[in-house]
Chains A and B, each alone.
Chain A
Amino acid sequence: MNPFAVAAPLLRQIPPELQEKVLTGALRLTGSIIRDPRTGRIAGFLQEAGPLSGPLASVLKTGVSTTLATGNPALGTAAAGAQLLGQVASLAQGEAIRAGVKRVDGKLDAMNETLGSIGQGVDLLQNLGIANLALGAAGLGVSVVGFGIMSAKLDGVQRAIHAIGDHLDTMSAKIDRIRQDTIDADFVEIHSLCQLYEEGWGFGDRGRSEQQWLRISQEARTFQDRFAWRAREILTATPHAFPAADAMIDASALASGLRVASLVACNEGALAASIAAESGAQIEALTGTIGLAELAMVHVTPDIEAGTHDFELAMVQAREAARPMLRKFRDREAGVATRTAPLALLDQRGIAPREWLEAARSEKEAPALLLKTDDADEIIADA
């Protein structure tokens, strides 16, 4: 029996009025939480689901090629996000899928019956602008949903690090542990941990599964901290080496995501929430003080003369060029901090953390699921 059907509907069909509110800004997405920005009340929680893994691997390749071409991992993620939307949309085979919020009328329900919940998921990704978040290292909710997704994300981050290999070679002269070979070795170990996590679901004895997951949670700690340390060293030694630091932070976020998923699978909700909060603080400490001003300076031509229109134009262009990376920083900070946000609500409803994770893993249609709060309808109406 699906526990969600009894306790509270786990929606694959996102209410059109909620989509509209998010699109207009009346409701805001912060990490995986949908809330009213005026009152702070939460309308729902998003969770990435199994069908996301299908197109993810191929779009991450797009992201890496864009990173290589532009030297900007944030642009790579944005490009991959755009391709993801296209790929998932093509699964549903329908022009109606691409219409978005303009279809907020009675026709939507009828269409959805025909097109299935994949259409709703695509609308969700499109209208809520969460493709980049779902693709990113922070993920949407509990980030490890199947080895396929985690492996694809790890590969994406590792390729992004290789793409900036020249910069790393320069920095590794100063910082020994930023050498490419040691980084690659760490990725091999994280991949192994992900595989072990997946194998844990195959045990007939859940006790043995939990033993394995607890060990994974402990071992992944080393990599979470080591990649965070690398990011800090890079930012200290070379303050404007943001792409390199960004890739290391992604790796740290993936490692902490594996830890959270392992503990959620063990039904250790409180500990999982604690680790999610701690890793959120760790990442915010790295990027929270980095703003558009710092990111834009990397794009400013040094010989632009002050007191000219060219200077003003250069500042505007630099600011716009920096926005993708800024958005990525902020989304990742929020995504990591909100991974376990729905667990308290689920606990109130008598739903174990592992059941939540299993529902997301076993989902066959929608790439993302929504869990509404008890007063979601009121919040949506008031927004």
Chain B
Amino acid sequence: MDIDFLIRRQAVTEWRDRQLFAAMSALNAAAMAARAEFEDHLKDAELLQSLIDPAGFVTDRIDAAMRGQLTARTEVLLADASAELRALDTRLASLADALAGSGSALEFPASAQPPLQRGAAETAKMADAPPIPEVLAPGLLRTARDWGNWFVTGATGVADTLSRTVQARGGMNDRLRRIAAARIDAAWMASTGDPRTIRTQLVSLIDDVAHEARSMNL
């Protein structure tokens, strides 16, 4: 085996290692930022929202945060990876260019839409919710519609505080955090699953480029 050929192939494998670890680091950093953002949402979360549809509450916010964090990070990641690949050998330039332009092909989870606008949309959602038993809010029997009206018209500070207190006491926030962690893992960072997570897509992209580069008779 020609030693130069071996050295080039080893260099491509090393390139691949660097990009894979960079991708994991970028994903983890995005996830940490998304979880921090989610904490802010928890402070403002209404009891009704989190009780009725905790998964939906989490998914909307986590996915939007992850998308916001990763859009720029993946562009930088792929641009850096492309530059490093081109530096290995000028004959890899076309492959590097293809890699740099691959960011638009990444498929984010379908629910990664901007957070719901407060107002009519959430009012409509609240209207469809079942009534809350009095045992959960003694002395404050309200139907879902009443809670929704309070939200739309601007709930008082007392109501907000009461809501957050109930949530904290009920451990609801911890539950929401666990759901958030599970969402990040399942939809964004798992190494398996269908549809493919961003992690799986990035790994596959880098692997494919590395395989192509090693196969080239440079």
Q: Which residues of A contact B (CB under 8 A)?
A: 30-31, 33, 40, 277-278, 280-281, 284, 288-293, 305-309, 311-312, 315, 319, 330, 333-334, 337-338, 341
Q: Which residues from chain A contact B7 at a C-beta distance below 8 Å? A: 30
Q: Which residues of B contact A292 (CB under 8 A)?
A: 17, 21
Cβ-defined contact, A315 with B28, below 8 A: yes
Task: Say whether B128 faces chain A, with CB atoms less than 8 Å apart.
Answer: no
Task: Tell me which of B2, B13, B20 has the highest count of chain A C-beta atoms within 10 A of its own C-beta.
Answer: B13
User: Which of A30, A277, A309, A319 meets B21, CB within 8 Å?
Assistant: A319
B31 / chain A contacts, CB cutoff of 8 Å: 306-308
User: 18 A-B contacts, Cβ less than 8 Å apart?
Assistant: A33-B3, A40-B4, A277-B1, A281-B1, A284-B1, A289-B211, A291-B17, A292-B17, A305-B181, A305-B185, A306-B28, A306-B185, A307-B28, A307-B34, A308-B28, A308-B32, A315-B28, A334-B3
Interchain CA distance A284-B211 in the complex, whole Å: 14
Cβ B32 vs Cβ A337 within 8 A: no
Residues of A within 8 A of B2 (CB): 277
Distance from A240 Cβ to chain B, minimum over Cβ atoms (Å): 13
Q: Is B134 an interface residue (CB 8 A)?
A: no
Q: Which of B6, B27, B28, B29 has the most CB of A within 10 A?
A: B6
CB distance from B65 to the nearest CB of A (A): 10
- Residue of A292, A306, A315, A341 with highest tally of chain B CB at under 10 A: A306
Chain B residues 9-34 with CB under 8 Å of chain A are 9-10, 13-14, 16-17, 20-21, 24-25, 27-29, 31-32, 34
> Is chain B's interface secondary structure helix, strand, loop, or mixed overall?
helix
**Nearest B residue to A291 by beta-carbon distance?**
B17
Chain A residues with Cβ below 8 Å from B27 are 306
Question: Which one, A284, A293, A307, contacts B35 given CB within 8 A?
Answer: A307
Beyond A293-B20, A312-B28, whether A31 also contacts B189 by CB under 8 A is no
- Tell me if B10 and A330 are in contact (CB < 8 A): yes
Task: Give B residues with C-beta under 8 Å from A.
Answer: 1-4, 6-7, 9-10, 13-14, 16-17, 20-21, 24-25, 27-29, 31-32, 34-35, 181, 184-185, 188-189, 211, 214
A235 CB, min distance to chain B CBs, angstroms: 15
A-side contacts of B214, CB under 8 Å: 288-289
Question: In the assembly, what is the distance between CA of A289 and CA of B13, in Å?
Answer: 6
Cα separation A250 to B21 with both chains bound (whole Å): 28
* A281 CB contacts on chain B under 8 angstroms: 1
Q: Which of B4, B17, B25 contacts A315 (CB 8 A)?
A: B25
Our pick among B17, B28, B34 for the contact of A293 (Cβ within 8 Å) is B17
Assuming the contacts A288-B214, A289-B13, asked whether A312 and B3 have C-beta atoms less than 8 A apart, the reply is no
Most buried by A among B9, B14, B28, B211: B28
Residues of B within 8 A of A290 (CB): 13
Question: Which of B1, B17, B35, B181 has most A Cβ within 10 Å?
Answer: B1
| Distance of A334 Cα from B20 Cα, bound (Å) | 24
> Could you tell me if A293 and B16 are in contact, using CB atoms closer than 8 angstroms?
yes
B13 x A288 contact (CB < 8 A): yes
Of all chain B residues, which has the CB nearest A309? B32
